[in-house]
Amino acid sequence: MSEKIKEIDLTGLKCPMPIVQLAKLMKQLDAGDEFTAFADDPAFCLDVEAWCNKTGHELLELQNDEKRLIAVIKKKEQ
C-alpha cells in the first residue's frame, strides 16, 4: 500500500464540482492512499459524507475551521 498523502483545493467550487473533482483525483490514487480536501461550499459536508458512503471510500476526518471545510479521505481498498 502506498502512503502518499495528497491535497486538493476545492475552494471556490460549488456543488457538484467538488465531488466531481474528488472522483477524478481518486482515479490517480492507489488503494489506501489518503488525501486532504479543502472546500468552502457549505454543501460540501453533506456531499462528501454521502459520496464516501456511496463509493466506499473512508471519511477519516471532517472539520470546519470557519474559513473552509477540511476533509481527510482514504481511498477504499480494491
Catalytic residue ranges: 15
Q: Which of 39, 27, 33, 47 is nearest to 64 (CA)?
A: 39
Q: How is 8-39 classified by DSSP, letter by letter?
A: EE-TT--TTHHHHHHHHHHTTSPTT-EEEEEE
